[in-house]
Structure 1
Amino acid sequence: MPSRTSAAVRIAVLADSDTRWKWGALTARRIAPEDSRITGFVLRGRATPTARQLAETGAGTGAPREVTGAGFLRTLREEAYDVVVLALVGGTVQAMLQALAAAPPHPRPVVVTGYVGVVYEKLADGLLLRHGADLVLANSRHDAERFRAVYEGVGADASAVVEAALPFLGGAPYTPRAGRDTVVFAAQPSVPASREERAYLLRRLAGHARLHPHREVLLKLRSRPGEHTTHVEEHPYQKLARGPLPSNLKLVHGHMGEVLDRAGLLVTVSSTAALEALHRRVPTAVLTDLGVREALGNHHFIGSGLLTSWDALDGGHRPVPDEAWLAAQGVAPHGGYERAFDAARARVRDLLAGPPLPPPAPWYTTATAPGYLPGVLARHRLDTAGAAPAAGPVRRALRGAARSVYRHGVQRVAPVIRRLGEL
């Protein structure tokens, strides 16, 4: 059989939200052999990104095709992809792996997966749901060590873990200059979760703007009303900010890289935007005002030198990052970033050049997790053999209509009802 590296390599990226599409599409470009062709797919569901959200990711690939999970599996068998990047929540990754194990395409594609940012919760759960992929990408040396420890600790093969980096780091390095006095607060859809804590952050941001009337203060939002992201946003800042705001405080959307081009300080609770800013040497602050808690994710930044409060920032403090911490987190502000994907690229190349791949072998089976795996698969309409029950044309049509109605209700009707309830 001729090597699959002798012709253009076909790569399929499947994502289930805007942030995962950004990670998946850019990862595919980073690890792709030369002359690769990348085709994108997004899962139809609550968090299916809009055209605006897709454009703002800066992924630079063509518009992805919207599919169901079953439809994507059919496509893999019909269109013969060489590499598949699964940019999905852990349970959906596991469902795809089980389905590929039950009925693998021929030849079976190389399967790549990973995380879209900082891994601060559900480490073991998420990793074991991703086990069975050929590459489980770690965004830093710190993550790679943790990932291998989890797999080895349960007796699972850890060889799929490959150290890489976040694929969207880049942009022009920060240089202090006169007039560059913009403070950017990177909002997160679910951190913090409560209305009271989010209102507090907005008040402090507005207070900072009033204290520094000549400073531009930006609240960088992830979504517009009616749009959904990876996490549900119960209390959008747009709604909390209906009262009068200082004239120098603005709510903005857009590509994070473009916002960082103007930033003199990036402030966040625990957003991955902090790593983007640090990579460019933009001064960065991680807030402790609401505590340093696992639920907030800012515990990940212990030892970074970045933890501080609004009181300190109001007084002019600018945190100085710890260089050893930066290196362990895959942030390479002084060079070396472009080599971060060499190992992953080489692993993909070797797998494509080698013998046909066997079916995936996830650690979760009906022997290792008989009380857990069936429920994970049932949520994706798969049985424990990784097969989907046959559905006739009428049932498929009803399912499609039901999904459309549900999505319209969640993205359009529900926000209107919430607004009316507050009148």
Structure 2
Amino acid sequence: MSTSTSKSPRVAVLADSDTRWKWGALTAHRLAPDGRLDGYLLRGRATPTDRQLREVGVPAASRTEVTTAEFLAAMARAPHDVVVLALVGGGVQAVLHGLARAWRGRDRRPVVVTGYVGVVYEKLTDGLLLRHGTDLVLANSRADAERFRAVYAGVGADPAAVVEVALPFLDGAPYRRRDPYTVVFAAQPSVPADRADRGYLLERLIRHARLHPDRRVLLKLRSRPGEHTTHVEESPYQKLVRGRATPDNLRLVYGHMGEVLDDADLLVTVSSTAALEGLHRGVPTAVLTDLGVREALGNHHFVGSGCLTSWDRLDAGEAPVPDAGWVARQGVPPATGPDPYEGARDRLAALLDGPGPGPLSPYYTARSAPGYLPGLLARHHLGPDGAPLDGAPRGDRAAGPVRQAVRRAARSAYRHGVQRVAPAVRRLGEL
């Protein structure tokens, strides 16, 4: 269906990492399949590289790296119909206040959409209230939609913006047995965070490959050395594997997760959203309990799924059998099922074709949260009224080649410090 009866909508997506760009851009395509997509990448430590953007593989009519102030300036003059905020909660709240100021006095403003890039297993209330004020808050499952509405109703906020969908990257062909049998371990940048725990998981993966020489074993990595994603990765598996003897049937791979899953017979993870991708296709999916079932790991989300297991069981040839009821409730539609975005498109069409949404009204205001909101806005270089602070980069100050080179060098230095210097200093402190 077309989202609007009058014209193809123009959609802006603001994202602060490669993962959120993937979610935001795919969400835009799901909501407005015939629309024009303009991408804006928020400048920071996790700004995706060109390689990461190519790996995501979502086309856009344009892509621009911006600060918060530059994005607000662009939205004040660009004729977009929809704005998708693919940011952390604090970023969403800050941009909402900035947009409310930038669009003040306009007869009609764009529809603003936000949501979550994966499983919501921590900071539920905090994150939801920071996202309140958008026109659509996308929930990736029936369970999430119910939780979101309950939180909003419980604090006296309107829950009407919550719309049930599914993760936009759940696609691909249904599973069928491959040859050779292929095991994929989906690495995560910050789960587990401890170097020793990550080393343990790597050793168990190597051991599994040795125990099953007839299997192909793939370590699916999120980013190359020097790149960052949503979370800081202090101990990359690429670094941990150096100097270790590995069997010939074990390989490190990059690339689009969907393409890797095309050849997977068993997906293994601690708590990656990739587990939901595997379950959607019907790929046998294992969520590891070796390091415990803990909130800090995120694998507690999979309690009741039937997927919790250990390396010992996988080494013995066992494969988990998912619970169908849990899978359905957690927003994992079957690969041949109906489109879970139909309701969201209908809601968007009603906003675009009707009189339009009213003024933006974020949950937090200077009156309701005077000890919280000003500091949150200042972290994004905005004042209490949503205006860019003095010294914040403006939209008319385009970065030339020299400034761009300096930014790239600064980001590389930061990443080097996180991945090499900081761990070394921490180890010295433990001597």
Asked if residue 299 in structure 1 is aligned to residue 303 in structure 2, the reply is no
Tell me the amino acid that sits aligned with residue 215 of structure 1.
R
- Give the structure 2 partner of residue 208 of structure 1: 208
The alpha-carbon distance between structure 1 residues 264 and 230, as it changes in their structure 2 partners (threshold 3 A), is: same
Equivalences for residues 101-180 of structure 1 within 5 A: 101-104=100-103, 106=106, 107-177=108-178, 179-180=179-180
How many residues get paired?
Answer: 417
Alpha-carbon distance between aligned partners in 2 of 1:396 and 1:258, rounded to the nearest angstrom: 40
- Give the structure 2 partner of residue 82 of structure 1: 81
> Deviation of residue 365 (structure 1)?
1.0
Contact 1:270 1:286 in 2 (8 A): yes
Which segments of structure 1 move beyond 6 Å, counting only runs of 4 or more?
392-398, 418-423
Contact 2:23 2:86 in 1 (8 A): yes
Contact 2:172 2:335 in 1 (8 A): no
Alpha-carbon distance between aligned partners in 2 of 1:25 and 1:276, rounded to the nearest angstrom: 17
- Give the structure 1 partner of residue 258 of structure 2: 257
Unaligned runs of 5+ in 2: none
Contact 1:180 1:264 in 2 (8 A): no
Equivalences for residues 83-98 of structure 1 within 5 A: 83-98=82-97
Tell me the amino acid that sits aligned with residue 155 of structure 1.
G
Unaligned runs of 5+ in 1: none
| TM-score under structure 1 length normalisation | 0.93
The alpha-carbon distance between structure 1 residues 293 and 181, as it changes in their structure 2 partners (threshold 3 A), is: same
> Deviation of residue 314 (structure 1)?
0.4
Tell me the amino acid that sits aligned with residue 144 of structure 2.
D
> Deviation of residue 9 (structure 1)?
1.1
> Deviation of residue 403 (structure 1)?
5.0
The alpha-carbon distance between structure 1 residues 125 and 413, as it changes in their structure 2 partners (threshold 3 A), is: closer
* Aligned partner of 2:413 among 383, 388, 409: 409
Alpha-carbon distance between aligned partners in 1 of 2:142 and 2:95, rounded to the nearest angstrom: 27
Provide the aligned C-alpha RMSD in A: 2.4
Q: Give the secondary-structure state (helix, strand or coil) at the position aligned to 1:120.
A: coil
> Deviation of residue 392 (structure 1)?
8.6
Q: Give the secondary-structure state (helix, strand or coil) at the position aligned to 2:159.
A: coil
Alpha-carbon distance between aligned partners in 1 of 2:53 and 2:237, rounded to the nearest angstrom: 21
Alpha-carbon distance between aligned partners in 2 of 1:197 and 1:414, rounded to the nearest angstrom: 18
The alpha-carbon distance between structure 1 residues 419 and 91, as it changes in their structure 2 partners (threshold 3 A), is: closer
Alpha-carbon distance between aligned partners in 2 of 1:329 and 1:415, rounded to the nearest angstrom: 34
Larger mean Cα displacement after TM superposition, 187-196 or 61-70: 61-70
Tell me the amino acid that sits aligned with residue 224 of structure 1.
R
Cα deviation 1:263-313 (Å, max 9, x = unaligned)? 110000000000001111000000000000000000000000000000000
Alpha-carbon distance between aligned partners in 2 of 1:356 and 1:96, rounded to the nearest angstrom: 20
| TM-score under structure 2 length normalisation | 0.91
Tell me the amino acid that sits aligned with residue 286 of structure 1.
V
Alpha-carbon distance between aligned partners in 2 of 1:50 and 1:63, rounded to the nearest angstrom: 15
Q: Between the two proteins, what is the percent identity of the paired residues?
A: 65
Tell me the amino acid that sits aligned with residue 410 of structure 2.
Y
- Give the structure 2 partner of residue 245 of structure 1: 246
Equivalences for residues 183-194 of structure 1 within 5 A: 183-194=183-194
Alpha-carbon distance between aligned partners in 1 of 2:21 and 2:392, rounded to the nearest angstrom: 31
Larger mean Cα displacement after TM superposition, 289-298 or 96-105: 96-105
Alpha-carbon distance between aligned partners in 2 of 1:415 and 1:331, rounded to the nearest angstrom: 35
Tell me the amino acid that sits aligned with residue 92 of structure 1.
G
Contact 2:12 2:83 in 1 (8 A): yes
Alpha-carbon distance between aligned partners in 2 of 1:419 and 1:291, rounded to the nearest angstrom: 24
Alpha-carbon distance between aligned partners in 2 of 1:346 and 1:356, rounded to the nearest angstrom: 14
Alpha-carbon distance between aligned partners in 2 of 1:312 and 1:139, rounded to the nearest angstrom: 31
Alpha-carbon distance between aligned partners in 2 of 1:58 and 1:305, rounded to the nearest angstrom: 32
> Deviation of residue 247 (structure 1)?
1.3
> Deviation of residue 415 (structure 1)?
4.5
Contact 2:76 2:102 in 1 (8 A): no
- Give the structure 1 partner of residue 37 of structure 2: 38
Q: Give the secondary-structure state (helix, strand or coil) at the position aligned to 1:6.
A: coil
Q: Give the secondary-structure state (helix, strand or coil) at the position aligned to 2:144.
A: helix
